[in-house]
């Protein structure tokens, strides 16, 4: 942060004294501003930071209904809308948000979903559903109780060892069998699978129809998250971030925070500790703390949406005006997110969303 941000003088690119602009902290209500991101409230009106209209119990600004739609959080089913972006995982039809919920009987301990293949752990089985035009249709069952499982490219990975297609047909091992602690946590995304053992993290990439090991990174992992270009490893005392450079995964930054869960999407990272869920934003190759959210036992992240679960309730946050805003709160524990789908496990599996 620029040293001028603490000199008690309006200078540099500041819009208010020691606030606003690209270098200083955001300004409080009543301070001068130029754009919305100059303000803590995320709203600059006529050159002054004003309180967000998203919680004033009135319909105003670009809202499509009271305190929702437009620049505010998406609206629930039955509320007014202009586009589907105004609705919570729903369709805007006849200017009204319509829910597209599908209910599947059974409470799952864990869920994983890539938008096409849904896997849910019910008792001693992993049940698979395939996304069709008519909705999710059950396609197979794998009798197994893995430490972790994940899905990508319509493929199920159990502990990073066993690989199954959407009909629950085993297609062989992904990684070495018999490794102590193998599969403590696993994550997948965009043709990449990361599997944590008790001593290292193995990264596999898809080449044609085959999965091959691309990297083996030393260090204990409590949790992992991966995209096509970024890997986050939560260790006992820090989160290590790696960037993919060709066929190598290079250390990018070490964040000194003891996280129990991590999640990645684009240039955003969530790290859940015992006391808070920390949001880090990447600018160039540097990750900086952007916002502190409530603690969570499970987290999920996709472009513009974050889900935080305490195993009783799931809080949905939406990225608006350069910050996370709390939207819906649902009953449930396990949760999975894609850009257009939300899967929640409570008494039953509930699927929200649209193509």
116 and 16 within one domain: no
Which residue among 295, 311, 334 closes a domain?
A: 295
**Which of 95-99, 154-158, 205-209, 339-343 has the lowest average pLDDT?**
205-209
Q: How many CB atoms lie within 10 A of CB 176?
A: 12
- Rounded to an integer, the average pLDDT of 219-236 is 91
Task: Check residue 84 and give its pLDDT.
Answer: 81
Tokens of 250: 């290079």
pLDDT of 228 strictly over 50:
yes
Tokens of 56: 């004033």
Count of domains in the chain? 3
13 and 83 within one domain: no
Q: How many CB atoms lie within 10 A of CB 178?
A: 6
Which residue among 264, 295, 326 closes a domain?
A: 295
Task: Check residue 181 and give its pLDDT.
Answer: 44
- Rounded to an integer, the average pLDDT of 117-133 is 93
Classify residue 319: in a domain, yes or no.
Answer: no
CB-based contact 273:238 (threshold 8 Å): no
67 and 125 within one domain: no
pTM comes to 0.80
- Rounded to an integer, the average pLDDT of 5-10 is 90
**Which of 82-86, 127-131, 229-233, 242-246 has the lowest average pLDDT?**
82-86
Confidence label for 179 from pLDDT (cuts 50, 70 and 90): very low
Confidence label for 336 from pLDDT (cuts 50, 70 and 90): very high
Can you name the residues that pair with 303 across neighbouring β-strands?
A: none
pLDDT of 160 strictly over 70:
no
- Percent of the chain residues past pLDDT 70, beyond the cut: 94
Task: Check residue 248 and give its pLDDT.
Answer: 93
Burial of 76 (0-12, 13-18, 19+ CB in 10 A): middle
Can you name the residues that pair with 10 across neighbouring β-strands?
A: none
211 and 119 within one domain: yes
Classify residue 37: in a domain, yes or no.
Answer: yes
148 and 272 within one domain: yes
89 and 124 within one domain: no
- Give tens-digit pLDDT for 185-203: 777 777 888 888 778 888 8
Confidence label for 147 from pLDDT (cuts 50, 70 and 90): confident
Classify residue 308: in a domain, yes or no.
Answer: no
Tell me how many degrees the CA angle 159-189-191 measures, rounded to the nearest 5: 95
For residues 292 and 147, give the distance between their C-alpha atoms in angstroms, rounded to a whole number.
29
Task: Check residue 293 and give its pLDDT.
Answer: 95
- Rounded to an integer, the average pLDDT of 321-342 is 88
Q: Which CATH number goes with the domain that contains 266?
A: 2.120.10.80
38 and 84 within one domain: no
For residues 121 and 244, give the distance between their C-alpha atoms in angstroms, rounded to a whole number.
31
242 and 170 within one domain: yes
pLDDT of 250 strictly over 80:
yes
- Percent of the chain residues past pLDDT 90, beyond the cut: 45
Full residue range of the structural domain in which residue 207 is found: 103-295
Task: Check residue 180 and give its pLDDT.
Answer: 41
For residues 108 and 187, give the distance between their C-alpha atoms in angstroms, rounded to a whole number.
18
Task: Check residue 185 and give its pLDDT.
Answer: 73
74 and 34 within one domain: no
Tokens of 278: 């920390």
Classify residue 153: in a domain, yes or no.
Answer: yes
Residue 304 vs residues 73, 101, 104, 268, 295: alpha-carbon distances, Å: 11, 20, 26, 9, 19
Task: Check residue 184 and give its pLDDT.
Answer: 58
Q: What b/e readout covers 265-275, taking b as 16+ CB neighbours within 10 angstroms?
A: beebbbbbbee
pLDDT of 177 strictly over 50:
no
Which residue among 33, 51, 69 closes a domain?
A: 51
- Rounded to an integer, the average pLDDT of 162-174 is 82
Classify residue 318: in a domain, yes or no.
Answer: no
253 and 135 within one domain: yes
Classify residue 192: in a domain, yes or no.
Answer: yes
Classify residue 75: in a domain, yes or no.
Answer: yes
Task: Check residue 230 and give its pLDDT.
Answer: 94
pLDDT of 178 strictly over 60:
no
274 and 146 within one domain: yes
- Give tens-digit pLDDT for 259-281: 999 999 989 999 999 999 999 99
Mean residue pLDDT across the chain: 87
Classify residue 325: in a domain, yes or no.
Answer: no
pLDDT of 176 strictly over 70:
no
Confidence label for 211 from pLDDT (cuts 50, 70 and 90): confident
Task: Check residue 258 and give its pLDDT.
Answer: 95
203 and 120 within one domain: yes
For residues 155 and 326, give the distance between their C-alpha atoms in angstroms, rounded to a whole number.
32
Query: What is the chain's Cα-based Rg?
Result: 22
């Amino acid at each position: 942060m620029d040293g001028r941000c603490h000199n008690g003088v309006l200078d540099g690119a500041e819009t208010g004294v020691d606030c606003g602009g690209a270098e200083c902290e955001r300004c409080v209500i009543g301070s001068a501003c130029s754009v919305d991101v100059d303000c803590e409230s995320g709203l600059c009106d006529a050159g002054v930071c004003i309180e967000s209209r998203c919680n004033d119990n009135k319909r105003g600004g670009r809202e499509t209904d009271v305190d929702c739609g437009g620049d505010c959080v998406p609206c629930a089913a039955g509320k007014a809308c202009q586009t589907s972006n105004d609705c919570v995982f729903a369709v805007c039809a006849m200017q009204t948000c319509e829910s597209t919920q599908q209910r599947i009987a059974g409470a799952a301990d864990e869920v994983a979903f890539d938008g096409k293949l849904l896997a849910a752990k019910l008792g001693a089985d992993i049940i698979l559903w395939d996304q069709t035009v008519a909705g999710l249709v059950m396609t197979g069952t794998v009798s197994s109780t893995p430490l972790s499982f994940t899905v990508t490219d319509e493929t199920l990975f159990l502990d990073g060892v066993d690989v199954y297609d959407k009909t629950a047909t085993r297609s062989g091992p992904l990684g070495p069998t018999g490794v102590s602690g193998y599969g403590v946590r696993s994550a997948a995304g965009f043709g990449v699978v990361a599997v944590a053992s008790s001593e290292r993290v193995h990264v596999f990439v898809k080449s044609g129809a085959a999965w091959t090991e691309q990297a083996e990174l030393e260090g204990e992992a409590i949790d992992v998250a991966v995209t096509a270009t970024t890997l986050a490893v939560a260790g006992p005392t820090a989160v290590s971030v790696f960037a993919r450079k060709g066929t190598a995964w290079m250390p990018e930054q070490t964040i000194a925070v003891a996280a129990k869960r991590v999640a990645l999407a684009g240039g955003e990272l969530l790290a859940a500790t015992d006391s808070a869920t920390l949001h880090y934003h990447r600018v160039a190759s540097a990750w900086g703390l952007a916002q502190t959210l409530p603690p969570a036992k499970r987290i999920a992240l996709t472009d513009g949406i974050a889900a935080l679960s305490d195993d009783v309730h799931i809080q949905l946050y939406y990225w608006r005006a350069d910050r996370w805003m709390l939207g819906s709160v649902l009953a449930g524990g396990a949760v999975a997110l894609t850009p257009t789908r939300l899967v929640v496990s409570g008494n039953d599996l509930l699927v929200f969303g649209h193509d």
